Amino acid sequence: MGRRIHKRMAEADISSYADYRDLLEINSGEFGVLFNTILINRTSMVQQAAGMLSVHLAGVARDMVEGRLDP
């Protein structure tokens, strides 16, 4: 999450946490952008993990059907 915050700070041309906090306090739109940046990154990770699990479970089911794995 720290990388996401630093990314937003760099995009806003701000180098200190105190200055970024000030921006968040005076610009409600920036809070929304930061929140979405963090949320989108996490949502993407969850989607990738779910996809990987789905592929793994399909392989396990195939191995069970083909008799290569005991139930």
CA pair distance 69, 71, nearest whole angstrom: 6
**DSSP H stretches of helix in 1-71:** 2-11, 17-26, 28-65
pLDDT of residue 10: 93
Expressed as residue numbers, the domain containing 12 is: 2-65
On whether the pTM is more than 0.85, the answer is no
Tally of domains within the chain:
1
Q: For 19-42, what is each residue's pLDDT tens digit?
A: 988 998 899 888 888 888 777 655
For residue 66, the 8-state DSSP code is T
Over range 66-70, report the average pLDDT. 65
Q: Is residue 70 part of a domain?
A: no
Which pLDDT band holds residue 12 (cuts at 50, 70, 90)?
very high
Q: Is residue 71 part of a domain?
A: no
Q: Is residue 10 part of a domain?
A: yes
Angle at 30 between CA 41 and CA 45, to 5 degrees: 5
